[in-house]
Amino acid sequence: MKKELKIYLASPRGFCAGVKRAIEIVEKSISKFGAPVYVRHEIVHNKQVVEELKEKGAIFVDELSDVDDASRPVIFSAHGVPKSVPEEAKLKNLSFVDATCPLVSKVHRESEQLNKNGFEILLIGHKNHPEVIGTMGQLPKGSIKLIETKNDAELLKENDFKKPLAYITQTTLSVDDTAEIIEALKNKFPKIKGPIKEDICYATTNRQSAVKEIASKCDMFFVVGSRNSIENSQTIGRSSGASAPEKLVQTLLKSLRKNRNVSIEEVIVAEEKVVFKLPKELN
Ligand code: SF4
């Protein structure tokens, strides 16, 4: 007889509006302009999505210098790009479609506005993440200082800064870790200015809340992409990141059902109805 296995399925999970839009941009570009189209960097961080788009006619490149056929359009990924990238595309006469998530673009505009208003800017984020590279590249080099940890914040000194201070954040961060870093910044610089509406996006916040809601009830927690054994567990939690397709979740559930008597409870912490418009080039 199969052993019982209770699964809590986190909701929301999987694709966010920015990822759906980015994938649609690649697909619509292929149908409008024909294959191939170039895509600079992984359009979203998911191998399966990238492979499926390759089969449909997308060619992924690291840099614009890797584009062999300048007559084909180039798509910029959902993570956003430094200003130098569209500038380079224009110089090379490449046509391009920008799939930057509108919530990342919001952070880009914030950085420009803060700079214009005379603030020194701290960006809370992960070094070398494409979104961070894109956000830092909205302003001349050295205009934005990266803060990765609470310790980084605590090491800052008041006389490091000549102008008023503001912070912005990457859209995809741990809500709790970021709150700690912001608290450390506020302790040190009580007048520091933060975004009017926080930069960590709704999708990141909702997925983390859903995971927190169920993690304490589970013997084991799966986020699509991680590998674990479930042989001895009686209760497991399931979720998937904002760039993971739902079919991966369903495939895993199917394989669990082979050996276990599975019951599923979906734990819904928020309803997501966010949809972003496509860029005008594709309308
Ligand atoms: S995770 Fe958030 S910021 Fe990133 S693409 Fe999705 S909605 Fe946009």
pLDDT, one tens digit per residue, over 188-228 is 999 999 999 999 999 999 999 999 999 999 999 988 743 43
Q: Give the confidence band of 43 by pLDDT, cuts at 50, 70, 90.
A: confident
CA distances from 223 to 18, 119, 228, 238 (A): 19, 39, 10, 6
Q: If you take atom 2 of ligand 1, which residue's CA is the nearest one?
A: 201
Q: Count CB-CB contacts under 10 A for residue 106.
A: 15
Name the pLDDT band for 232 (thresholds 50, 70, 90): low
- Distance of CA 231 from the midpoint of ligand 1 (Å): 34
Residue 33's Cβ-side half-sphere holds a number of Cα atoms within 13 Å equal to 23
User: 98 CA distance to ligand 1 centroid (A)?
Assistant: 14
pLDDT digits (tens, 9 = 90+) for 9-25: 999 998 999 999 999 99
Find the mean pLDDT for residues 151-168. Answer: 95
Is the pLDDT confidence value at 54 over 50? yes
Residues marked as catalytic: 131
Residue 239 to residue 18: CA distance in whole angstroms = 18
CB-based pocket (< 6 A), ligand 1: 16-19, 78, 101, 103-104, 171-172, 201, 203-204, 242
Cross-sheet strand order for the sheet of 235-239? 220-223, 235-239, 3-11, 260-268
